[in-house]
Amino acid sequence: MQPVTMHVREGIAHVVIDSPPVNALSQPVRASLADAVARVEQDSQIAGVVLSCAGRTFVAGADINELGAPLTPYLPDILADIAASRVPWVAAIKGTALGGGLELAMACHGRIAEPSAKMGLPEVSLGILPGAGGTVRLPRLVPMTTAITMITAGKPIDAKAALDAGLVDILAETDLLSEAEALLHDLPMGIPLLERPVRDADAIDWDAEQKTLRKKSQGAQAPLEALAALHDAASLSAEQALAAERDRFLRLAVSDQSRALRHVFFAERAAGRSLRDLQAEPADLSCVGVIGGGTMGAGIAVALLLAGSQVILVERDEASAAKARTRVDETLTASAKRGVIDASGHAAALDRLKTAQDYGALTDCQLVIEAVFEDMALKREVFARLDAVMPASAILATNTSYLDVDALAGTTAHPDRVLGLHFFAPAHVMKLLEVVRGSATGPRALATAGALARHLRKIAVVACVCDGFIGNRIMNAYRNDCEFMLEEGALPQQIDAAMESFGFAMGIYKVQDLSGLDIAWAQRKARAATRPADERYAHIADRLCEAGRLGRKTGRGFYDYSDGKPKVDPEVTAIIEEESAKAARTRRDFTEREIIDRILTVMQAEGQAILDEGIAESADDIDVVMITGYGFPRHKGGPMWLTRG
């Protein structure tokens, strides 16, 4: 069957794209669409066209598997034919119209959308820019400021915002297709879109836009190319701007950054597939227990509340429970400020939170997540108590970031229901969920982790038990090596600058100061007894902790925060130089390239060891962990990708 079908009813042709799962414009879809466009032109009985899609969504864009390959029939040519059609076309949008899908809709003469629909040009997230006229058509429909935000940030907007901006003509009230037909009758043919001027381009300070974007994109090329294409749209004829957009698109489509970003796109979707493929019935997530209402516990509770679950949060006493509730409330307030929920959503979420001091309050929960302090004895006690009160069918998870999940499971009578769910702070924002599979973890516990990730819209990556699992194990390895570089002559600010210019959101020393140096200090102390005597060990971080420099929370860590911002501190430099001398290292200069090469080499070696030991399911999973949990630059594809790229 053809992926694009056409049937004519009372002079209106219904052209329907049907190519699951997301109606991407693959070569067969484009060929079939081009054929439908030609048939419309030849059939004089047809007075108008409604273009719609089967399934759950309008077109989600070009087929990402085909980017960088020969593109015939070429989408911009098909869109030019639609725009020049002798009859009006109306796009009927549901689900999402993204990338080439939105460009297709913009080539039509009118657009109607379901109120729940979303529209966007997310190409920059794939290292390209809209390549089928998006940068030229969008600023002729919406104000240039809106076009700049939509195209350079790649974030979709909802139907109401699209209506307000002028991207769609009306929102459907009851039936999308019959209202699309009605719109066809009402549509004035007017001036063709490409002959209209761009909207409000005079208000733009292009140099300032470029400066801000350069800073924000941290080395990613596509957003800057997209901005340049929009500048072309404002300053050249439509025909010239379309040709310039095409050149930029073809160049970016074969770039290293686009290849890396496409790799990440598919790696993120493949992550945790083993959890989805399990036959076991996951636990019900309508009511979830959380033990501990500190930063992590409260964040996990907020993530669950925002997803619609009821949460029973257990704290050791009434005062701690009250503090936890306040923490949750404050986080919900911040979420409301960011537009994630409205006031009634905030109130409803808070209503779904119950606090308790007794584990007996948890017995209706099929999943309990423990998020108490990282202390093995304390966690063992929690698990023993949970095991005693919870029905055998309930799943018990620990949010530990490095402790032995098997040792915790060993304290229970049903180790098959125990697993690790390593959330990242802030837990209601960060996308990554490391699912730690113990040696006895059963399929129902794993299926529940998969269901939880979907419920919370997170990316699950499966790891087996080892110290630090995937992410923290790799981070510990390169953090150690960074300390060795400090001993050998580098300074924290140089290492941070090198990492940031590579594209990390933040250098390792700013990250440590932000999260606090005490957790890793406790970890090092716990390991001290078993550390081989001949293992190289740098004492710099320990010295800072001993001096009370625990990071931002104490106003001092690797940097001084007395002015709020990280400032180089001579006291830290002195400690580093003393430690170099004690370790008998001759200090020397490091180049940025050398620093980055060393960090990458350590990450890749540790990643390879993790794969060889069977801790991670794939190299792609390691890339996903480092990008979504540890600030590795997305447009570089991840440490393991770089060994292949």
Torsion sign, CA atoms 537, 541, 544, 550:
negative
Distance CA 188, CA 257 (A): 43
Give SS3 for 353.
Answer: strand
Please select the residue that binds ligand 3H9; options are 3, 48, 61, 471, rule is CB under 6 A.
Answer: 61
- Taking CB under 6 A as the criterion, which residues in 185-224 touch ligand 3H9? none
537-541 — which CB contacts under 8 Å span 24+ positions?
Answer: 538/480, 538/483, 538/484, 538/486, 538/487, 538/579, 538/583, 539/579, 539/582, 540/483, 540/486, 540/487, 540/575, 540/576, 540/579, 541/483, 541/512, 541/517
Q: How far is the CB of 239 from ligand 3H9 (least distance, A)?
A: 17
Candidate segments 95-103, 185-193, 408-416, 424-432, binder of ligand 3H9 by CB under 6 A: 95-103
- Tokens 């719609």 sit on residue: 52
- Tokens 């447009």 sit on residue: 635
486 binds ligand 3H9 (CB under 6 A): no
Alpha-helical regions (H) of 187-342: 206-217, 222-235, 238-253, 256-270, 273-276, 295-306, 318-337
Q: How far is the CB of 94 from ligand 3H9 (least distance, A)?
A: 12
Please select the residue that binds ligand 3H9; options are 24, 180, 220, 408, rule is CB under 6 A.
Answer: 24
The nearer residue to ligand 3H9, 60 or 332, going by C-beta atoms, is 60
Q: How far is the CB of 75 from ligand 3H9 (least distance, A)?
A: 4
Q: How many residues does the chain have?
A: 645
Q: How far is the CB of 522 from ligand 3H9 (least distance, A)?
A: 38
Please select the residue that binds ligand 3H9; options are 100, 127, 282, 629, rule is CB under 6 A.
Answer: 100
Q: How far is the CB of 266 from ligand 3H9 (least distance, A)?
A: 6
Candidate segments 55-63, 179-187, 282-290, 519-527, binder of ligand 3H9 by CB under 6 A: 55-63
The nearer residue to ligand 3H9, 130 or 492, going by C-beta atoms, is 130
Candidate segments 61-69, 442-450, 471-479, 595-603, binder of ligand 3H9 by CB under 6 A: 61-69
- Taking CB under 6 A as the criterion, which residues in 324-363 touch ligand 3H9? none
96 binds ligand 3H9 (CB under 6 A): yes
22 binds ligand 3H9 (CB under 6 A): yes
The nearer residue to ligand 3H9, 103 or 500, going by C-beta atoms, is 103
Q: At 58, list the tokens.
A: 């309008």
- Taking CB under 6 A as the criterion, which residues in 393-412 touch ligand 3H9? none
Asked whether 503 and 219 are in contact (CB, 8 A), the reply is yes
3 binds ligand 3H9 (CB under 6 A): no
Give SS3 for 157.
Answer: strand
Per-position x/- string for 64-93, each x denoting binding to ligand 3H9 as judged by CB under 6 A, each - no binding: xx---------x------------------
CA atoms within 13 A on the CB side of 232: 22
How many angstroms separate the most distant Cα atoms in the chain?
90
21 binds ligand 3H9 (CB under 6 A): yes
User: What proportions of the chain, in percent to the nearest 5, are helix, strand and coil?
Assistant: 50, 15, 35
Q: How far is the CB of 462 from ligand 3H9 (least distance, A)?
A: 16
Cα separations (Å) of 28 from 23, 38, 55, 62, 530? 11, 15, 18, 12, 61
491 binds ligand 3H9 (CB under 6 A): no
Q: At 37, list the tokens.
A: 């466009």
Cα-based angle 91, 97, 103 (whole degrees, multiple of 5): 70
Count of residues that interact with ligand 3H9, criterion CB under 6 A: 25
What is the C-alpha radius of gyration for the chain, rounded to an integer number of angstroms? 28
63 binds ligand 3H9 (CB under 6 A): yes
Active site amino acids: 103, 123
564 binds ligand 3H9 (CB under 6 A): no
- Taking CB under 6 A as the criterion, which residues in 126-185 touch ligand 3H9? 126, 130-132, 134
Candidate segments 63-71, 277-285, 358-366, 596-604, binder of ligand 3H9 by CB under 6 A: 63-71
Q: How far is the CB of 293 from ligand 3H9 (least distance, A)?
A: 31
99 binds ligand 3H9 (CB under 6 A): yes
The nearer residue to ligand 3H9, 96 or 494, going by C-beta atoms, is 96
Q: How far is the CB of 60 from ligand 3H9 (least distance, A)?
A: 4
The nearer residue to ligand 3H9, 122 or 468, going by C-beta atoms, is 122
Asked whether 278 and 447 are in contact (CB, 8 A), the reply is yes
Non-local (6+) Cβ contacts of 387 within 8 A are: 396, 411, 412, 413, 414
103 binds ligand 3H9 (CB under 6 A): yes
Q: Tell me, what amino acid is at 387?
A: D
Q: How far is the CB of 628 from ligand 3H9 (least distance, A)?
A: 15
Task: Tell me, letter by letter, the H, E, C secondary structure of 411-437.
Answer: CCCCHHHEEEEEECCCCCCCCEEEEEE
Asked whether 639 and 632 are in contact (CB, 8 A), the reply is yes
60 binds ligand 3H9 (CB under 6 A): yes
The nearer residue to ligand 3H9, 105 or 394, going by C-beta atoms, is 105
- Concatenate the DSSP letters of all residues of 546-572 into one string: HTT--BGGGTBSSSB-TTSS-B--HHH
The nearer residue to ligand 3H9, 27 or 295, going by C-beta atoms, is 27
Q: How far is the CB of 194 from ligand 3H9 (least distance, A)?
A: 17
Q: How far is the CB of 592 from ligand 3H9 (least distance, A)?
A: 32
123 binds ligand 3H9 (CB under 6 A): yes
114 binds ligand 3H9 (CB under 6 A): no
Q: At 86, list the tokens.
A: 């002798």
226 binds ligand 3H9 (CB under 6 A): no
Distance CA 409, CA 331 (A): 31
The nearer residue to ligand 3H9, 141 or 298, going by C-beta atoms, is 141
Closest CA to 180 of 9, 59, 2, 1: 9
Give SS3 for 449.
Answer: helix
Q: At 345, list the tokens.
A: 């959503």
Q: How far is the CB of 432 from ligand 3H9 (least distance, A)?
A: 16
Candidate segments 94-102, 140-148, 460-468, 571-579, binder of ligand 3H9 by CB under 6 A: 94-102
Per-position x/- string for 241-280, each x denoting binding to ligand 3H9 as judged by CB under 6 A, each - no binding: -------------------------x--x-----------
Q: At 117, list the tokens.
A: 């629909």
Q: Which residues bind ligand 3H9 (CB under 6 A)?
A: 21-22, 24, 57, 60-65, 75, 96, 98-100, 103, 122-123, 126, 130-132, 134, 266, 269
